[in-house]
Structure 1
């Protein structure tokens, strides 16, 4: 269409009243269906909200007006609508902004062919306008973020599209769609690639949890089927062995048979099948990551963002916002890096210190419960202390999450990163590191130190010379780790989901109660959109205000909204893989949680929260590196759990070196018969070194019998309490197993990663054809 003909069409539309010249542009020629356009039919790209101000002389009002004037200087069209208590500013960007963006995108290395064809997607429009708003500064140097902190503006948001929102709610964001596939392409078109890739990754993670969950259940059922006939359980349940007190003063000797129930539970998670399951999960982690890369590549190729570059995207947006902008140079300061490193180390030491505080709490709680008046808690003080410690650990995690976020942001400010993308990567690494230590420092203590540094009768290790350091659970050290993991995982997932969904729902309900309800339909202007011609009519101010209020009532979103979802899922992935040898049912719990999580997050984003600003990306970013690091750590941790924490190695050594089958002649006995008694050592009260350790009141059995000896779990001589040769043999086999396990699994991981290409062949071929087509098109246009 020629320039003169287009101008004539504009004049005709002005006479028809489609284009209004009263200062508030409810529509423009570019959006008219009578003219070719790169705009999609929509009302406003962005909305700012401020409180109404009675006094025009107030600084708040002056800053509002100054910021709006700055927007108008960038040729942004502003529509102002005043409600009773708030004022809305509807913002529309001129068509030239998007044309400039498309041209720069075309000539850049991060070319996106799809956005050069047809209309500019609505997600792209919102992203560009959001960038412009974030980079408009007042003369005082304040931007929109700082104005929001000062309450100059109450909120900023992009509008939900009623039609698309309804379609997503019907096909995706509802509980009845739990076992249906996700409309990833629709999510991408509405929320952008970054949100779409999160749900794509979460869906893929949930899908691959199915075989892991199934095998975990099989391992559990295997142990459940044979634990009644296990000679180990039989030996514990029928034992008359008298065990030494687990604490000072009120703790008395107890019978090994009292732990019959705990022994049955322990054997469900500490058996031969657990070793194979831990090896499987290490390889599963690699398969999950490699196949995820292929899965992601297929979608990013389809979306034409495979070669997209985040830094170049920021440069393009900078130029679109200000053609005279100067590049932000890369900088590095050894002083700042050293300061950040020191501060990170101090924070990690503080977190580890909290783990030590939990240890002290459990020790003190064990003594207090044992000396309490409640007989049940007194008899099970050790177990009760472990449970209380796990609950306290959960609350510590909740508090430290907020502290870690504040500290991570401050550290990123000190670094002064070159771009938002660099800042986001730096923040992600720091926040995850702090959260990981917060969650796992206590678990690492329970897995690898509990019961191994507490000493022995006559030489107990005490805190401040008063409280005995806690021992492992009577049924084994792995039981403590299982209790810790089960409580933290269940509490974290259940309570987090309740607050994650209940909080936004309650806030929306509260805002609706406080906000005046306007009529939703205006008889003289409300018309439905024509589905065939895609034409629409601008609503009057009453209907427009009603729509803006509806979005304003929704819960706010920010740059942390999606990060929080990723962090929650990656930490769950850590729980599922790192200590899976102690809790084979962890993948099953994660699977159930994720099925709920997908729909919960979808309902929250579509119905309960304001529309998230669509962000473009072609990967989940630094989270991929985090997941790979977790995969390596999972191999090391599971090898150590099986080799050091569990009784798998001591049982193996006993079977082939000390048990009835050691010489190969016994055929009528189980090879593990006598293992429990073999793993115990005995102390006698007539020994002067032990005489002062336990009081006479403690050496009384539950039946009232006085005894002069008791047993404890260790490999020590009954004469001088020195470590026996069996202990050193078991220790050598433990380390040999850990080294062998880790080398075998790591080799399997590398072979798997090599065997599975990161990019499918059809994606490589599709990219090749796309590049060839673009080059031919460029050649044809240059010849013309």
Structure 2
């Protein structure tokens, strides 16, 4: 199922690649040698020409282009079709295993009654006090995880200042990019650490709830761990996508942390570049390092137990005993599996599904990376489960439990998030407004690109005399500069311009239209692809008919007697 999504992502990416050098916006940025931008930091940062971001502008066009909108809608449909096809496959498997009418409570009661006729039924219980404590625990954990994401924001602010003051010219010139990349690596490290912590907290809260049976415990544990992991993985990405560069103020009136360090701005080539870098680094690190650790951990444990067993082996065994004992030893050397070993695999896939659908508008190559990862992991998991680990104990189930609801929730959230990314994070709406309301085509001019002059229109002018006292500019390269430009839509008095409000209204309208269209398409796709195949439905009817006929025969026999 990832193949169509990966192919669509490649098409969207190559659409931008085809227009890599012919994009009018990129051409204007690369030619803007005389457009001086305001300093990127407060202390001894110089003015810099907009043309310095020429390469980044071209790269940004690879994933921030007109094809992104259609790709986002396609991914919404793909997510729906994926779940519907999964439900159909689940229906086939349940029918083949004759598990449609299986009920866990009924089976547990039957076993207890067989063991003891006078057994006490484990009744359902609910405590408002325990529920309140669990709710407060979940809220506190989420607040801590969001606080960690804000700590990453502070790190990027301080790292940008540090890199700006570096004596290494390359690092000082690319301070913003270096801060974003190092912040992404640090974000991945927090994910690794908090994964362990989240599991401990979820286990404690789950025990506090006192679930009635294994299924309730598993569902409770799953919902809590996924919630914590989702916040850990995506809280920083949500900040980068929807808040970065929008709450930092403007030159001369920056919002500052502790009144000293100003909040970070978007990458000079656009806010979506920061989101792209974050997504790319986290996905690559997570998939690469996680696969290595997931395979190396049981492999090293197996080798250690093998070496330890060889040292303690008794060499006096002979004949068939030696063969039997060796078989036992081989099984013993396999790494033990715990009750949630399969849970880890589910969690990994659902998090990957979230990365593949949420924010996919900013990173069209996410499905391709997921496909490559799954092909490799399929083989690694096969080796791990058949050669390195002990066999898992099978357990009856007629679905994947609460994971299906989690996947459906992620699909709905993906529609909302991608709509917001296109409307708020990308430059799609500002370009559209300029093309049809402010550009040369809107003024009736022909034989000219409709986006001509867009860059100049999207930059506001700041008078350098209005810098506050904390801003000290390095003017050796551009002395006597009276004006600099910055990305925003403001008037000369630094109030929002009319164009800003036009874009703001268009963004809100686009979000509403996009989400309604995408949700309608999702519903149509869900209706078009039935959850249960007709073959399974017909087999179920035949089974019901046979059961009723058999029951009728038994009733007739009992009445005859």
TM bucket by the smaller chain? Answer: over 0.9
Match of 2:48 among 225, 238, 254: 254
For 1:236-635, list aligned pairs within 5 A: 236-240=29-33, 241-319=35-113, 322=116, 324-516=118-310, 525=320, 540=321, 542-635=322-415
What is the rounded CA distance, in whole Å, between the counterparts of 1:364 and 1:613 in structure 2?
51
Q: 1:678 to 1:312 in 2, by over 3 A?
A: same
Deviation at 1:524, TM superposition (A): 5.1
Q: Which residue of 1 aligns with 2:441?
A: 661
Deviation at 1:233, TM superposition (A): 0.6
Deviation at 1:284, TM superposition (A): 1.0
Q: Which residue of 1 aligns with 2:2?
A: 209
Deviation at 1:749, TM superposition (A): 1.1
Q: Which residue of 1 aligns with 2:526?
A: 753
Match of 2:491 among 709, 717, 729: 717
Q: Which residue of 1 aligns with 2:474?
A: 698
Q: Is the 8 A contact 1:253 1:700 kept in 2?
A: no
Q: Which residue of 2 aligns with 1:679?
A: 458
Q: Is the 8 A contact 1:700 1:706 kept in 2?
A: no
Q: Kindly provide the CA deviation profile for residues 268-306 of structure 1, in whole angstroms up to 9, marking residues without a partner as x.
A: 110110000001101111111111101111121111112
Q: 1:365 to 1:691 in 2, by over 3 A?
A: closer
Deviation at 1:626, TM superposition (A): 0.1
Q: 1:521 to 1:502 in 2, by over 3 A?
A: farther
Q: Which residue of 1 aligns with 2:500?
A: 727
What is the rounded CA distance, in whole Å, between the counterparts of 1:596 and 1:388 in structure 2?
27
Match of 1:737 among 510, 514, 534: 510
What is the rounded CA distance, in whole Å, between the counterparts of 1:564 and 1:397 in structure 2?
15
What is the rounded CA distance, in whole Å, between the counterparts of 1:284 and 1:459 in structure 2?
45
Deviation at 1:550, TM superposition (A): 1.2
Is 1:769 aligned to residue 553 of structure 2?
no
Q: TM-score, structure 2 length as denominator?
A: 0.95
**Quick check: which has more Rg, 1 or 2?**
1
Any gaps of 5 or more consecutive residues in structure 1? 1-207, 526-539
What is the rounded CA distance, in whole Å, between the counterparts of 2:5 and 2:448 in structure 1?
36
What is the rounded CA distance, in whole Å, between the counterparts of 1:321 and 1:512 in structure 2?
41
What is the rounded CA distance, in whole Å, between the counterparts of 1:308 and 1:599 in structure 2?
33
Q: 1:520 to 1:273 in 2, by over 3 A?
A: farther
Q: Is the 8 A contact 2:253 2:468 kept in 1?
A: no
RMSD over aligned CA atoms reads: 1.9
What is the rounded CA distance, in whole Å, between the counterparts of 1:602 and 1:520 in structure 2?
33
Q: Is the 8 A contact 2:459 2:487 kept in 1?
A: yes
Q: 1:304 to 1:261 in 2, by over 3 A?
A: same
Q: 1:512 to 1:238 in 2, by over 3 A?
A: same
DSSP-derived class of the 1:229 partner: coil
Q: Is the 8 A contact 2:361 2:421 kept in 1?
A: yes
Deviation at 1:321, TM superposition (A): 5.3
Deviation at 1:545, TM superposition (A): 2.9
Q: Kindly provide the CA deviation profile for residues 91-116 of structure 1, in whole angstroms up to 9, marking residues without a partner as x.
A: xxxxxxxxxxxxxxxxxxxxxxxxxx
Deviation at 1:747, TM superposition (A): 1.1
Deviation at 1:552, TM superposition (A): 1.3
Q: Which stretch shifts more, 761-770 or 352-361?
A: 761-770
What is the rounded CA distance, in whole Å, between the counterparts of 2:350 and 2:192 in structure 1?
16
Q: 1:386 to 1:762 in 2, by over 3 A?
A: same
What is the rounded CA distance, in whole Å, between the counterparts of 1:243 and 1:321 in structure 2?
80
DSSP-derived class of the 1:710 partner: strand
DSSP-derived class of the 2:530 partner: coil
Q: How many aligned positions are there?
A: 555
Q: Is the 8 A contact 2:336 2:390 kept in 1?
A: yes
Q: Is the 8 A contact 1:699 1:708 kept in 2?
A: no
Q: Is the 8 A contact 1:521 1:543 kept in 2?
A: no
Deviation at 1:692, TM superposition (A): 3.1
For 1:39-50, list aligned pairs within 5 A: none
What is the rounded CA distance, in whole Å, between the counterparts of 1:480 and 1:521 in structure 2?
66
What is the rounded CA distance, in whole Å, between the counterparts of 1:563 and 1:478 in structure 2?
34
Any gaps of 5 or more consecutive residues in structure 2? none
Q: Which residue of 2 aligns with 1:218?
A: 11
DSSP-derived class of the 2:335 partner: coil
Deviation at 1:693, TM superposition (A): 5.4
Is 1:642 aligned to residue 422 of structure 2?
yes
What is the rounded CA distance, in whole Å, between the counterparts of 1:340 and 1:712 in structure 2?
47
What is the rounded CA distance, in whole Å, between the counterparts of 1:728 and 1:774 in structure 2?
67
Q: Kindly provide the CA deviation profile for residues 297-327 of structure 1, in whole angstroms up to 9, marking residues without a partner as x.
A: 1121111112222232333344455554321
DSSP-derived class of the 2:521 partner: helix
Deviation at 1:596, TM superposition (A): 1.4
Match of 1:670 among 449, 461, 474: 449
DSSP-derived class of the 1:670 partner: coil
What is the rounded CA distance, in whole Å, between the counterparts of 1:742 and 1:257 in structure 2?
36
Q: Is the 8 A contact 1:700 1:707 kept in 2?
A: no
What is the rounded CA distance, in whole Å, between the counterparts of 2:101 and 2:176 in structure 1?
57
